[in-house]
Amino acid sequence: MEAARQYDLVIFGSTGFTGGLTADYLAAHAPAEMRWALAGRNRTKLDAVAARLAAAAPEAPKPDVLVADAADEAALRGIAEKTRVVITTVGPYALYGWPLVGACAAAGTDYCDLTGEPEFVDRVWIDHHAEAERTGARLVHCCGFDSIPHDLGAYFTVQKLPEGVPLSVNGYVKSNARFSGGTFHSAVNGFARARQTLSAAKERRNREPRTEGRQIHAAPGRIRHDESLGGWTVPLPTIDGAVIRRSAAALDRYGPDFTYGHHMVAKHLATVGAIAGGVGTAGLLAQLPPTRKLLLKLKAPGEGPSEAERERSWFKVAFVGEGGGKRVRTEVSGGDPGYGETSKMLAESGLCLAFDDLPERSGQLTTAVAMGDSLLGRLQKAGIRFEVIERG
């Protein structure tokens, strides 16, 4: 089937800010033999992206251009059937992502995205996991800052601990970057869809098989000051913790009893209060259409910082792992998480799915389960650092 596909990879959304950066990265790093295409709804904008790529990387393989709207199911089916892998940056995914991921599941086409939206991830599992298992499609969500540094960072940390014993890992996130426009819109949309999010999570819990013979836990959340981390640690209720626990449930290497806690690090306790207040206010305003509309006007989905601003941005995720009488501290770090590193992670995920020798798994998968060591190696070569800081 793969030999009959016209393309190795299609990127949907390359006319947006993050999608454009992802296309730039692919043009600069793709193997010479890669057959690929840019897909979206506006032919003129797609042609402009293709021309920019050709000027910036004249030796790179030239992409074709495919026109399709995010709601055009027939056109998206046609694209999915032509390619081995689809990358999409078109969000919020709970609003615009359903037809494309469904087309990929039906066609047996590998799929990766940037979503951090729990409702979308849970509903895709409910609607398409079994079909993707049958067709051989790998549906891999959260292939940007949500959740690759956290998922692969925990995976990297677990590999440094003893096998076959109970393990605990805690992750601590620090960054100076601001939210992207797409992330902001996804968050506001998520607040507005809180009821649907809870409903999808409950339905998935009721239908998803339990892990037999092994236990997976979320660490209890608490606020505390940690001198070694340089600030206050606060439970971070993003999708990352759930992604890591799903990796642990699927992979025996995480041990018979695995616990993970996900946290942010703030230098001052007042910062924690300000963030909590801002999130709470946004959550309330998102419930009513008029105030939600005003919120969404604060930042455009395709809005992004200048190259100079991205150059100054950074992230660090520290992990502390313990088990079998051993303790290890690791760190994942890189540059601008919202744009530069996210586009790198997404592009490398697509290339990994298209060209690497990966485990024979299908259905909805996490990055650690679908790509594991292959993607870890790719990201290290691409400049994202996975380091052991301390062993004990």
Residue pLDDT, tens place only, 26-54: 999 999 999 999 999 999 999 999 999 99
Same domain for 329 and 281: yes
**331 and 276 in a common domain:** yes
Q: Provide the pLDDT for residue 280.
A: 64
**CA 128 – CA 103 distance, rounded (Å):** 10
The answer on 369 and 228 residing in a single domain is no
Question: Rounded to two decimals, what is the model's pTM?
Answer: 0.92
Same domain, yes or no: 194 and 65: no
SS (HEC) of 367-378:
HHHHCHHHHHHH
pLDDT at 138 over 80: yes
Question: What is the count of structural domains for the chain?
Answer: 2
**What CATH number is given to the structural domain containing 185?**
3.30.360
Q: What angle do CA 335, 337, 341 make, to 5 degrees?
A: 70
Q: Tokens for 87?
A: 């990358």
pLDDT band at 305 (very low <50, low <70, confident <90, very high): low
Judge if 103 and 181 occupy the same domain.
Answer: no
Supply the pLDDT for residue 1: 44
How far, in Å, CA of 145 to CA of 114, rounded? 8
220 and 320 in one domain?
yes
| 246 shares its domain with 176 | yes
| Summary mean pLDDT of the chain | 91
Alpha carbons 321 and 226: distance in angstroms, whole number: 16
- Written as six digits, the tokens of 332 are 């994942």
- On whether the CB atoms of residues 381 and 57 are closer than 8 A, the answer is no
**Do residues 384 and 43 lie in contact, with contact meaning Cβ atoms separated by under 8 Å?**
no
CATH code of 132's domain: 3.40.50.720
Say if residue 131 is in the same domain as residue 165: no
The residue length of the chain stands at: 392
Q: Are residues 82 and 107 in the same domain?
A: yes
Q: What is the largest CA-CA distance in the chain?
A: 61
- Cα separations (Å) of 161 from 313, 323, 357? 31, 7, 26
CA-to-CA distance for 226 and 234, rounded, in angstroms? 11
Residue 230 shares a structural domain with residue 181: yes
Which one of 185-199, 228-242, 336-350, 373-387 scores highest in mean pLDDT?
A: 373-387
One domain for residues 139 and 229: no
**Secondary structure of residue 190 in the 3-state scheme:** helix
**Residue 264 belongs to domain spanning:** 148-336+385-391
pLDDT above 70 (res 83): yes
pLDDT, one tens digit per residue, over 205-236 is: 999 998 889 999 999 888 888 888 888 999 99
- Rounded Cα distance between 375 and 136, Å, is 19
Residue whose pair of structure tokens reads 């999570």 in the numeric block: 201
Q: Are residues 82 and 179 in the same domain?
A: no
Amino acid at 286: A
> 338 vs 133, which has greater pLDDT?
133
Cβ-contact 329, 322 below 8 angstroms: no
For the cut 90, the answer to whether the pLDDT of residue 190 exceeds it is no
